[in-house]
Structure 1
């Protein structure tokens, strides 16, 4: 019986160490710029004193054999959240994405890569109850932090950009 225990633990150890040495799975060449974004992130929003804290937890992951990236995020453990798929559209020769939310609206958009660490996303919004019809966000990955600045076209006027700083996280995305 002891022999089988030793064999079992040896096989488990080998499987773990072999898996740990594997190279990260590759992304399609059009998505490779996003390799450093993969993983979990979190931002704690600046809020007025005495108001409820707001935390956004996000996850970027390789999807569809590297032909897409799936992102998902939740605010305050599922009070609000969304999921998106980013992929390369060869017909449009562009990075495109769809974003679906727990609030019942969705967006479709394009991404323009500005540099190896920066990109801008342009979104058309469908179904917003707040009157938002477009979104523009710029993301910049520097010094291990993801800085996101977002403006909304709301009732015909662009809002002042809101910025958030995301850091690596062990938190999980949660939906209710």
Structure 2
């Protein structure tokens, strides 16, 4: 059963629940991009440090799996947030400035992804991770370059790729927040 709010996107994902699918897909692909960057700079972060924060031994591709799962979950959070009234209203508004009025909603979603990546970097590795590791008493804390330029760049890359995939996956043009959740 299709309603007029079930508009298909570039990849055929309906807008009603597409935010969760587009978010998970974008987050997973963004995590792969970020993971490849980490792999270039310090592969031990993926193979040893990430599994260690959950108490796992560094076996096989466990770190990659956890990292991609983190990305998918964060992508769903992004999809949820960007489709809320406040953020969707800001993304879809018609601004008075010439520069902003010429940008498409997709470009604005990519920019929101970039900002989301910056926020994730500021919150998770800088604030939450040290508390988590201290609580667990694990020695993996020294293995995470949380404040390193590579970490910042990786999170910005994650957010940008997430925004690109989300913008291509979910059609938010001419949509109000109520349209996204109507049955």
Please tell me the TM-score bracket, short chain as reference.
under 0.3
TM-score, normalising length: structure 2: 0.27
Greater gyration radius:
1
TM-score, normalising length: structure 1: 0.28
Question: Per residue, is there more helix in 1 or in 2?
Answer: 2
Question: Per residue, is there more strand in 1 or in 2?
Answer: 1
